[in-house]
C-alpha cells in the first residue's frame, strides 16, 4: 500500500484500529498518546508529530517503509529564476 497524503494515513490508521476492535481511547492508551492526537491523525491533520505517528503505527502492528523515487531532473534556469528570494521580496 502506498500512502501519499495525511488523509490516507489517517484512513489507514482508522481502518486498522476498527478492524482490531479498538476504540480511540484504547489505541491512545496502547500508544501512550492523547485521544485528541488519535482524532487529529485519523482526520488527516498535517501537523502531527512523526514520533507519535510512529508510536501509533507500532501499536497497531503497521510497519512503515520508505521507498526512494527516481531523482528528479535538474531544474532549468527559468525555474531557478522563479525561486522565491526573501531578500528581493516586495509586498503588493
pLDDT digits (tens, 9 = 90+) for 11-60: 999 999 999 999 999 999 999 999 999 999 999 998 878 888 999 999 99
CATH among 3.40.50.720, 3.30.390.50, 3.30.450.90, 1.10.260.40 for 6-60:
1.10.260.40
Map out the domains of the chain as residue ranges: 6-60
**81 pLDDT more than 60:** no
Measured CA to CA in angstroms, residue 63 lies from 1, 35, 53, 75, 84 at distances of 11, 22, 11, 34, 37
pTM above threshold 0.85? no
Contact 17, 27 (CB under 8 A): yes
CA dihedral 76, 79, 84, 89 (to 10 degrees): 110
Amino acid at each position: 500500500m502506498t500512502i501519499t497524503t495525511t488523509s490516507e494515513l489517517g484512513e489507514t490508521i482508522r481502518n486498522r484500529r476498527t478492524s482490531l476492535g479498538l476504540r480511540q481511547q484504547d489505541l491512545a492508551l496502547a500508544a501512550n498518546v492523547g485521544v485528541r492526537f488519535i482524532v487529529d491523525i485519523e482526520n488527516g491533520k498535517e501537523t502531527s508529530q512523526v514520533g507519535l505517528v510512529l508510536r501509533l503505527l507500532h501499536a497497531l502492528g503497521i510497519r512503515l517503509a520508505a521507498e526512494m523515487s527516481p531523482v528528479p531532473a535538474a531544474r532549468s534556469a527559468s525555474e531557478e529564476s522563479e525561486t522565491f528570494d526573501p531578500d528581493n521580496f516586495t509586498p503588493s
